[in-house]
Amino acid sequence: MKIQSAKVIVTCPGRNFVTLKIVTDQGVYGIGDATLNGREKSVVSYLEDHVVPCLIGMDPRRIEDIWQYLYRGAYWRRGPVTMRAIAAVDMALWDIKAKMANMPLYQLLGGRSRDGVMVYGHANGSDIAETVDAVGHYIDMGYKAIRAQTGVPGVKDAYGVGRGKLYYEPADAQLPSVTGWDTRKALNYVPKLFEKLRETYGFDHHLLHDGHHRYTPMEAAQLGKALEPYSLFWLEDCTPAENQEAFKLVRQHTTTPLAVGEVFNTIWDAKDLIQNQLIDYIRCTIVGAGGITHMRRIADFAALYQIRTGSHGATDLSPVTMGCALHFDTWVPNFGIQEYMRHTEETDAVFPHDYHFEAGELFCGETPGHGVDIDETLAAKYPYKPAYLPVARLEDGTMWNW
């Protein structure tokens, strides 16, 4: 068996997605996701100019060797563009191998470790009252875990407050829009949200919150300490993780569980955080961290330190990544939770899939492969639309972390 062809498909059914389709000389094909929010053209160019030509004629069953070829064989390695291109190839090859074996992907990985995958949804509002209502809506839909974000008085377009109740897409303009931030106002306001949520709904549901890299380590420690009475499932991305040792300061001052990793590309980005037990959940994604092959290494390493997975699952990941993630989540022994932002009906139509939501959990299907396909005819009806993520500035105009 040889790889006969590979092509990149870009479509925008509400947001941009980059999909790689690999076809073998025996007619079996697999698809992978290479979406990189706001930088789609970069990953398309890398795939078409540097990766696809190398794949032709290779044996698609040699997943590990191809992964090493694309990673170790490149002198300039790592980074979001390279690793997402590798991830797309890896997903497609696992899809092909599982189809050849006539079994769903989770079986090829080692079988089930659980029946369903607990997911969390995104509840947000312009103020505390709106967010409390939004959390109630998710509870009514059967969610066991909800991430809660609120607008902050005096802060322009605070992070996490979307333009819809179920479908949130932050990339909103052909050039980056400017949002605001004020750490002190957030530190004073966010704990009040969770006080109201626990007062309204009690402690039966898991609540999560995303700091989105906005706080210094000591500010993050203050927030974690203030949230302790409300028993959060986790505080996510509380401080930028370029300096992994920064989490030591946070860890020393709060028992609120910490989660990080959606912007990580390899195990090296999380190595110190994991082996020093500075986090509780690792949030790397299959598309961002080099595919299933590399995610297995990250999860296995994390398991040594009783750290669980909690993969990013926003709408900047296509249903292809979600399908792969659910098979991975179904298998991985140290699973924690899976983020689940619902895609639009248009996106679901372009990417038909067999996973489904029920009672706060997602369930992967039994279709051979990862269970997600692409309707190329329909995809062609949604051409690429340039869209950037916003930027954030403090009140005095200083650039901040979005």
Q: Are the C-beta atoms of 82 and 46 separated by less than 8 Å?
A: yes
Nearest alpha-carbon partner for 147 in 220, 212, 229: 212
Active-site residue 137, yes or no? Answer: no
> Looking at 212, 312, 343, 353, which residue is catalytic?
212
Number of Cβ within 10 Å of residue 245's Cβ equals 12
Question: Using CA of residue 263, residue 43, residue 105, residue 368, what is the dihedral sign?
Answer: positive
Q: H/E element holding 303?
A: helix 292-303
User: Which residues have CB under 8 Å from 201's CB, separation 6+?
Assistant: 135, 136, 139
**What is the C-alpha to C-alpha distance for residues 108 and 101, in angstroms, rounded to an integer?**
8
What is the 3-state secondary structure of 111-136? CCCCCCEEEEEEEEECCHHHHHHHHH
Question: Residue 389 and residue 171: Cα distance in Å, rounded?
Answer: 4
Is residue 215 annotated as a catalytic residue, yes or no? no
How large is the C-alpha radius of gyration of the chain?
20
CA dihedral defined by 98, 359, 308, 280, rounded to 10 degrees? 150
Angle at 80 between CA 76 and CA 82, to 5 degrees: 45
- CB-CB contact of 309 with 302 (8 Å): yes
Written as six digits, the tokens of 32 are 């992978």
The active-site residue, picked from 159, 281, 340, 382, is 159
Would you say 148 and 142 are in contact if contact means Cβ atoms under 8 Å apart? Answer: no
User: Distance of alpha carbon 34 from its chain centroid, rounded?
Assistant: 12
Angle, CA of 327, 333 and 338, to the nearest 5°: 50
Q: Which residues are catalytic?
A: 159, 212
